[in-house]
Chains A and B, each alone.
Chain A
Amino acid sequence: MTEMQEAVPIEAVRRRAEPAVAVHELSKRFRLKDRKKGRFGKKTRVALDGVTFEIARGETVAILGQNGSGKSTLVRLLSTLLLPDGGAAEVLGHDVVSEHRAVRRLVNRVSVEASFFKKMSAAENLSYAARYYGMTAGQTRDRIPAILERVGFPPDRRDESMENLSRGMQQKVALARALLTSPVVLLLDEPTTGLDPRSKLEVQEFIREIRSSHDSTILLCTHDLAEAEALAERVGILDRGRLLVLEPAAEIKRRYGAATLEEAFFAATGREFEAEGDEDDDREVFA
């Protein structure tokens, strides 16, 4: 005899089934200066080339790629900071171009640079940023100290200028800023790059905690193979704007007959992982 189940409204079922992030044939190109073609010479650089994937709700996906592979472009497109040249991207069913206001309520982001007003304190930076998301002073009075405490930020440094804080400390404040708005989708763009080993471990530990304690969906862009393997349920390899594969790390290794993710990356791209070209070397603007 089957167990009696509580009726679930069809809308709730649909919502649950709907992917948190759906990207279809997403493309982005940039026009760059080409000095070889003279003073006004231009060339086109493909940053994303027909990228298609989905991320389920509550899932953590890591996108691996060298600098210049298109990771940051992907994050910026999902953050509504860039307009695509082709294809579409949706966050919980909202198109990132035509419904950008709805998308902005759902996502937040931590980037490689912890961008803050450096003369202002951590508490001040979080305070004004929270207002942009409609949070009143009453709502943030207790929440800001609590979230700073959660990321391991010392309470006695809350009112200190950001410029006096270490990179690791600033990155913790960046995580706190992103979590303060309770995003449904968290975009992490190389959040541990440039951090000392201890800070890196602390940030990674905190990402693990978010995974287990929040219902957040996480897209982690990184060029740290171990980080991707440790934190994500599925790993994607993005190379020169093309998503070559998106599977659990073990599947990727099996697919390429590799013992490590690094070997698999080499097999997939035909290039050494360390041999990084600078994403911005030949780009007039940040992509």
Chain B
Amino acid sequence: MRAMYATMRAELVGAGGVVERNAYLTKRYIWWDVAWFAWTVANTLTIVFIAKGVEATGGSLDVNRTMTTLLIGAVVWAYLGILFMFLMETVAWERWEGTIEYTFMAPLSRAMHLAGQGAFAILYGLVRAAFLFVVCAFVFFDLSMPNANYFAAFVVLVVSSISFIGIGMMMSVLPLISPEKGPQLGFVAQGTLLVVSGVYYPVEVLPEWMQAISTISPATYALDGIREAILEGQGLTAMWDELWPLLVIGVVSIPLGLWTFARGENYAKRHGKLKRSG
């Protein structure tokens, strides 16, 4: 019992070490992160302005509502991007710095290693997403959201993060297999996930086969839930239809992510690909 407690404690301390390392790196690269955030704001604005553009060219639509719908899509896109980036680029980054062998030969279990990685990604991503939403909604556009239930929207985003992290774990194996092109494939996963999930449009406009895929995408439920909370002011109890699929997908995707990563790690160890020469 005491040994089990000591092991669990060491594992938690180790996961904390991953968070600590990412905190140090964020501190050291903070101005680069500010610049990256400015790009995200610009990218989000280009999407949200579409609603104004449609109105200006004679289209008939509820501009405030459409802008908010687009903004939520853009914020979720940016959030997912940050989660995947942390999970994938840190593997790529560690390979580049040469620290990956030291990380992989430490007695920390891979599950807790990736949990620490995911925990920091979620914390950083949530703060960034909240900031992005506030800057775009209220500084640039002065959008009106009288019924918004921000707490419920936040909870939906947090719950959906479990599934996103599971998928991110699967993706993070790619830089182990191909350090040059692996991280780019993560963007493919992000784009594919969101395109079938109704990132800027209702899922109903998609072809039927894409609608079928959307039912197993956590982003579908995340986007629906957040939009219901912000636009309709729905509370968590009314959003059970979105929350339970998110929890189920999370329960499946995390073990699947760990299994995939373990397979990739074994492949890298079998073929000597943990560290590249030169």
Binding site for B on A (CB under 8 A): 30-31, 73, 76, 79-83, 101, 104-105, 107-109, 111, 113, 115-120, 124, 127-136, 161, 177, 280, 283, 285-287
If A109-B101, A133-B107, A286-B276 are given as contacts, then 15 extra A-B residue pairs at C-beta distance below 8 Å, sorted by A number, are: A30-B272, A81-B101, A81-B104, A81-B269, A105-B107, A117-B24, A132-B108, A133-B14, A133-B106, A134-B6, A134-B9, A134-B13, A134-B107, A135-B13, A285-B276
A132 touches B14 (CB 8 A): yes
B15-23, B159-167, B180-188: which lies at the A interface?
B15-23
B278 touches A132 (CB 8 A): no
Dominant secondary structure at the B interface: helix
Asked if B121 is an interface residue, CB under 8 A from chain A, the answer is: no
A83 touches B269 (CB 8 A): yes
Whether A115 contacts B276 in the complex (CB less than 8 A), given A128-B21, A134-B9, comes out as no
Interface size class of B (residues with CB under 8 A): 35 or more
B277 neighbours in A (Cβ, 8 Å): 280, 283, 285-286
Query: 19 A-B contacts, Cβ less than 8 Å apart?
Result: A73-B272, A81-B101, A82-B272, A82-B274, A105-B107, A108-B105, A113-B98, A115-B99, A117-B21, A117-B25, A119-B29, A128-B17, A128-B24, A131-B14, A131-B18, A132-B17, A177-B102, A285-B271, A287-B272
Whether A116 contacts B97 in the complex (CB less than 8 A), given A131-B13, A133-B107, A285-B277, comes out as yes
Closest chain-A Cβ to B116's Cβ sits at a distance in Å of: 9
> Could you tell me which residues of chain B, from 1 to 52, have a CB within 8 Å of some CB in chain A?
6, 9-11, 13-14, 16-18, 20-21, 24-25, 28-29
A105 to B7, CA, bound (A): 12
Asked if B103 is an interface residue, CB under 8 A from chain A, the answer is: yes
A111 neighbours in B (Cβ, 8 Å): 101
B20 touches A127 (CB 8 A): yes
Closest chain B residue, CB of each to CB of A136: B13
A115 to B103, CA, bound (A): 11
A124 touches B24 (CB 8 A): yes
A129 touches B105 (CB 8 A): no
A81 to B11, CA, bound (A): 20
B25 touches A119 (CB 8 A): yes
Closest chain-B Cβ to A169's Cβ sits at a distance in Å of: 17
A132 to B101, CA, bound (A): 13
Instruction: Report which residue of A79, A101, A117 has the largest number of chain B beta carbons within 10 angstroms of its beta carbon.
Output: A117
- Contact of A130 (CB < 8 Å), options: B17, B28, B269, B270: B17
A107 neighbours in B (Cβ, 8 Å): 105
B16 neighbours in A (Cβ, 8 Å): 131
- Contact of B272 (CB < 8 Å), options: A108, A124, A285: A285
B98 touches A80 (CB 8 A): no
B107 touches A115 (CB 8 A): no
Closest chain B residue, CB of each to CB of A281: B277
Asked if B144 is an interface residue, CB under 8 A from chain A, the answer is: no
Contact with A along B106-141 (1 / 0, CB 8 A): 111100010000000000000000000000000000
A108 neighbours in B (Cβ, 8 Å): 105
